[in-house]
Structure 1
């Protein structure tokens, strides 16, 4: 092994390590950039899914827990349970679409199916409420 080879080998390793670190950094950075751009849609869809799943399971009080703080300040649990309980039950649903209306807001459209098979369109405003996506607005109104 010559002196030149002894110097070149650590330089090659350092260059290879630097290239691997740059590539890894680009992958991780790209993931977080992409994730950040999709966060409103993903968070809103998940919040609406949990809310509607609880309604379909007959867990109306649990659905109330999915409401944002602003809505829970306006609508008491008992009023929500009575209001939803006075409507045809939701036996199933399908989320039709999610549209981000801002970094922390989105609109979710869904189709609710009652026990008779009737389908009712439903629109939910979903917002990031202190780090947790929740249904907001007036969930007693079918959009």
Structure 2
């Protein structure tokens, strides 16, 4: 009798533990497989971060969103001076994202300056060693 009394709670703990492990595997698998961003999603997020920093006046932070290849060609000071010499971006709207490969995309956006003028802008975005970043020449408006 005593053994049966102990077995029931242990059996319930075992079932509960097994259920939790199975649920953890399902949730973990969902995030592991769903965590990989396709070109459109990764590019949109990278462009959004870059443009948000520009709109906030955080030009140095926007520079940090550039891919390594671009940062090797464009010095921080040149980027800050180049962007600083243009009308400020007060807001923006991402109009579209087109994948140009499995690790590249073009993001089209409309930039709004303090006067309300809207300038179309294209950004080349690439998966740079596992992180989506703005690449190419971000000082050129598309």
Q: TM-score, normalised to structure 1's length? A: 0.76
**SS state at 1:115 partner:** coil
Alignment of 1:1-143 (within 5 A): 32=33, 39-143=38-142
Distance in 1 separating the partners of 2:122 and 2:105: 10
Distance in 2 separating the partners of 1:133 and 1:89: 24
Q: TM-score, normalised to structure 2's length? A: 0.76
Q: Runs of 5+ in structure 2 lacking a partner? A: 1-21
**SS state at 1:93 partner:** strand
Query: Which aligned runs of 4 or more in structure 1 are off by greater than 4 angstroms?
Result: none
Distance in 1 separating the partners of 2:97 and 2:79: 24
Deviations 1:89-122 (A, max 9, x none): 0000000000110110000000000000000000
Root-mean-square deviation (Å): 1.8
Q: Runs of 5+ in structure 1 lacking a partner? A: 1-20
Question: How many equivalent pairs are there?
Answer: 116
Distance in 2 separating the partners of 1:130 and 1:108: 19
